Amino acid sequence: MTLTCIAFVCSGNICRSPLAEAVFAHLVREAGHETEFDVESFGTGPWHVGEGADPRAQRTARAHGLLLSGTAQQITSGDFARLDLAVALDTKVAAALRQLAPTPADRAKVRLLREFDPGAVNKYDLDVPDPYYSGPDGFELAYQMIERSARRLLEALGRPLRA
């Protein structure tokens, strides 16, 4: 089976995208598909490059049995060459990714994570709100949206979850 390279992308790569990377990687391991995926995360901006995840995101991850161990990195147009899917956490990030993508084929790799969320009300409700300026509840809300969406994304990629 071919390796599928997926990047989760938010604005600064310290809150939502590291959570999404950890959740998806956990689901992949849990389902026994770890050799089939390369999972990473990025930000569209340079603000936090080299920093670890926001402590509130780390606490939320730990509360769900996950560890956020990476450091923030900024996506570049060159990254699209190896990516199969660039999963944006909100519509502004998706627009920035489409602008950064060097080819029409690369633009087609951009998807919104909540496109896969069974809890999304409609096509206008596809953002995972940025919890950076909120309290713990904002991080938990983001986690819940990410977890629901990541489960469906894995299934949409043809990788069944274990019961």
What would the pLDDT profile of 61-88 be if each residue is shown by its tens digit?
Answer: 999 999 999 999 999 999 999 999 999 9
Ordered domains of the chain (ranges, CATH): 4-156 (3.40.50.2300)
What would the pLDDT profile of 113-157 be if each residue is shown by its tens digit?
Answer: 999 998 888 888 899 999 999 888 999 999 999 999 999 999 999
The model scores a pTM over 0.85: yes
Task: List active site positions.
Answer: 10, 16, 130
By the 10 Å C-beta count (0-12 exposed, 13-18 middle, 19+ buried), 103 is classed as: exposed
Q: Could you give the CA distance from residue 127 to residue 146 in angstroms, rounded to a whole number?
A: 10
Beta pairing class for 37-43 and 85-88: unpaired
